[in-house]
């Protein structure tokens, strides 16, 4: 009995000294089960309806934690376009609602066809959302939302609104004025140019000089010309002290950011102006 007892103790000690694998190491994942996710990065795209982009491709991948997904029968992935704001998605893009990933493959592409002839005047914001899977072993995303199943699309019109709320300021002085309204007037024969009767607003001269008698005096009359490819803006002054400037136009936010030079004051400084469409 003593011998058997000693042998058993020795066996227990030797077992205890062995390296024990974690329970997960004994588990072999099923390569034909997993999840679907959007793998295009980043998960958003901005498109301007100027003909520069005709299609948008969004990559969908089937995967597992440890190995490539084995797609034995093919997978039909349902997806939808969910409006967020502005014009309806159907006005600016066309697409289906099912993505087929054939057997033997684990990557598919959702294709949005861009309607560059759309006559919308509002920016369209919507999400492409994975909605369903024909394979019960292949879920859409994960329950903890740790993989992306939603792609944000912003489609922007090329029309330039004519009514804006503006704010002017002088960074050198730490000055920012009160908001004011401005209206752009299209230039005949040039669809990319607009007249602006007073870019820097009615109160800036009175504010900077401390003299209220200058309210509505010395308007910054100018012409804004937008480059249709880069959306850079050239500012051309139409009065002597309005010496021009430059800036940018964002068709998605319908916002001008302008930097105006001036010859009215003996001290040289520029005026920054932001115009946001109403």
Chain segment 150-199, per-residue pLDDT in tens: 999 999 999 999 999 999 999 999 999 999 999 999 999 999 999 999 99
What CA–CA distances, in Å, run from 12 to 4, 21, 57, 60, 67?
12, 17, 61, 52, 37
Phi then psi dihedrals of residue 252, to 5 deg: -80, -40
Long-range contacts of 260-267 (CB under 8 A, 24+ apart): 260/199, 260/200, 260/220, 260/222, 260/235, 262/220, 264/205, 264/218, 265/208
Please name the CATH architecture into which domain 163-277 falls.
Answer: Beta Barrel (2.40)
| The predicted structure's pLDDT at residue 14 | 42
User: 32-156 with 163-277: one CATH topology?
Assistant: no
pLDDT band at 32 (very low <50, low <70, confident <90, very high): low
**Between residues 150 and 71, the one the model is more confident about:** 150
| Alpha helices (H) in the chain, listed in sequence order | 2-17, 89-92, 204-209
Count of beta carbons in the 10 Å neighbourhood of residue 156: 23
pLDDT (average), residues 133-143: 92
pLDDT (average), residues 123-138: 95
| The predicted structure's pLDDT at residue 63 | 82
| The predicted structure's pLDDT at residue 33 | 76
Listed in sequence order, the residues at least 6 apart from 90 whose beta carbon sits closer than 8 Å to its beta carbon are: 81
66 membership: H or E segment, kind and range: none
pLDDT (average), residues 228-232: 94
| The predicted structure's pLDDT at residue 73 | 85
| The predicted structure's pLDDT at residue 10 | 43
* Domain residue limits, the chain: 32-156, 163-277
> Is residue 120 scored above 90 in pLDDT?
yes
* CATH topology assigned to domain 32-156: Immunoglobulin-like (2.60.40)
> Is residue 214 scored above 90 in pLDDT?
yes
pTM of the model: 0.77
Count of beta carbons in the 10 Å neighbourhood of residue 47: 21
């Amino acid at each position: 009995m003593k011998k058997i007892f000693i042998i058993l103790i020795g066996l227990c000690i030797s077992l205890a000294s062995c390296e024990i694998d974690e329970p997960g190491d004994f588990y072999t994942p099923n390569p034909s089960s997993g999840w679907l996710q959007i793998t295009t990065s980043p998960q958003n795209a901005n498109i301007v309806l100027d003909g520069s982009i005709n299609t948008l491709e969004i990559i969908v991948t089937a995967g597992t934690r440890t190995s490539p997904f084995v797609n034995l029968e093919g997978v039909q992935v349902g997806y939808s376009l969910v409006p967020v704001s502005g014009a309806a998605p159907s006005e600016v893009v066309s697409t289906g609602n099912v993505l087929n990933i054939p057997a033997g493959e684990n990557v598919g592409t959702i294709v949005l066809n861009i309607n560059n002839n759309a006559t919308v005047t509002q920016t369209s914001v919507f999400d492409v959302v994975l909605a369903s899977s024909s394979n019960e072993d292949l879920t859409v995303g994960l329950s903890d939302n740790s993989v992306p199943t939603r792609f944000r699309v912003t489609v922007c019109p090329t029309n330039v609104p004519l009514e804006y709320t503006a704010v002017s300021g002088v960074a050198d002085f730490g000055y920012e004025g009160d908001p004011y309204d401005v209206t752009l007037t299209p230039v005949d024969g040039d669809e990319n140019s607009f007249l602006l009767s007073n870019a820097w607003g009615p109160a800036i001269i009175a504010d900077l000089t401390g003299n209220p008698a200058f309210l509505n005096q010395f308007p910054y009359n100018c012409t804004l010309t937008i480059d249709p490819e880069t959306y850079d803006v050239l500012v051309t002054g139409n009065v002597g002290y309005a010496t021009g400037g430059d800036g940018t136009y964002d068709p998605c936010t319908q916002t001008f950011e302008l930097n105006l030079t001036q010859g009215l004051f003996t001290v040289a400084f520029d005026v920054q102006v932001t115009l946001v469409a109403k």
